């Protein structure tokens, strides 16, 4: 996007994570006036309903507008991304399963109409990097530092859409803050398949400390066996340390009638 002559942004806001140059010319179209220019400087703010505005653009812009077909470039970048995923899936550090393998398995078995609630931390970054979305709805907290969001959000999704497959993706740190809610999920028979990426630390905080040149301090966690905990609460619990059985374990969790937790022992360095 930083190589474009102009960005026309329909119905989207910005965040500090976009990486868009602040000098990039932008036309932002949004029905909410408070969203216009809230996080990013604009060339032109347009207060309007997206469909109406897009129709007016299509009708009034000249036919001879020059355009470059970006699809070959996108296809080339997609191939690079797939090569990165394949390389990540081959990585072994001896401390657990790598994230590329974890989310390749979830991609293979997640129903197309699933609602997937993701937490905060490296597990969510890895989900965004490696999971291939088909038509699933993704719930996230917008990087607001709200660790623990994932499982409660999945409970809310189950209440709102009980006919759809509900999946939670969290780290061990996030789930540890709300693990008592699993008893509520069991009590009400909530069909939630929980993919728990357990690296025994607050991995995102460790990464930030290293990036700042600091010594990693107080990010390790003393965890229970989460799979045993799920079973003791009356749900389904499976602990996975072998990538060969990972996909089958997630499939079993999806097929279980009630709350299912798949605890995956993950390498904190292979995210």
pLDDT classification of 173: cutoffs 50, 70, 90: very high
Tokens of 5: 């002559």
User: Do 236 and 257 contact (CB within 8 A), yes or no?
Assistant: no
| CB atoms near residue 185 (< 10 Å) | 27
pTM of the model: 0.80
Phi, psi of 261 (to 5 degrees): -120, 125
pLDDT score of 105: 97
Over 90: is that where the pLDDT of 4 sits?
no
pLDDT score of 143: 65
pLDDT score of 16: 67
The stretches of 137-271 forming alpha helices (DSSP H) are 150-160, 172-176, 182-187, 203-211, 226-232, 246-255
Reported CATH class of domain 94-265: alpha beta
d(CA 143, CA 19) in angstroms, rounded, equals 15
Domain boundaries, the chain: 7-60, 94-265
Q: Specify the pairing of strand 137-139 against strand 44-47.
A: unpaired
Instruction: Kindly state the average pLDDT of the residues 104-126.
Output: 95
Express each pLDDT in 45-58 by its tens digit.
Answer: 999 999 999 999 88
């Amino acid at each position: 996007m930083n190589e474009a002559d102009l960005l026309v942004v329909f119905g989207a806001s910005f965040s500090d994570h976009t990486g868009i140059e602040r000098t990039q010319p932008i036309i932002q179209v949004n029905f909410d006036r408070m969203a216009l220019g809230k996080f990013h400087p604009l060339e032109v703010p347009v207060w309007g309903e997206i469909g109406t505005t897009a129709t007016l653009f299509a009708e009034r812009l000249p036919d001879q507008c020059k355009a470059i077909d970006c699809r070959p470039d996108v296809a080339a970048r997609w191939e690079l991304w797939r090569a990165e995923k394949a390389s990540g899936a081959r990585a072994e550090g001896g401390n657990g399963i790598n994230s590329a393998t974890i989310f390749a398995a979830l991609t293979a078995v997640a129903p197309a109409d699933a609602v997937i609630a993701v937490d905060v931390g490296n597990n969510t970054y890895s989900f965004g990097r490696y999971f291939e979305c088909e038509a699933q709805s993704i719930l996230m907290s917008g990087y607001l530092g709200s660790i623990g969001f994932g499982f409660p959000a999945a409970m809310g999704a189950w209440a709102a859409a009980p006919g759809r497959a509900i999946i939670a993706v969290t780290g061990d740190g996030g789930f540890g803050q709300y693990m008592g809610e699993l008893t509520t999920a069991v009590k009400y028979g909530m069909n939630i398949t929980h993919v728990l990426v357990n690296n025994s630390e607050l991995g995102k905080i460790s990464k930030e400390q290293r990036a700042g040149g600091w010594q990693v301090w107080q990010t390790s966690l003393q965890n229970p066996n989460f799979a045993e905990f799920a079973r003791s609460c009356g749900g389904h619990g499976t602990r996975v340390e072998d990538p060969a059985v990972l996909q089958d374990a997630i499939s079993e969790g999806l097929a279980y009638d009630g709350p299912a937790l798949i605890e995956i022992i993950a390498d904190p360095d292979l995210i």
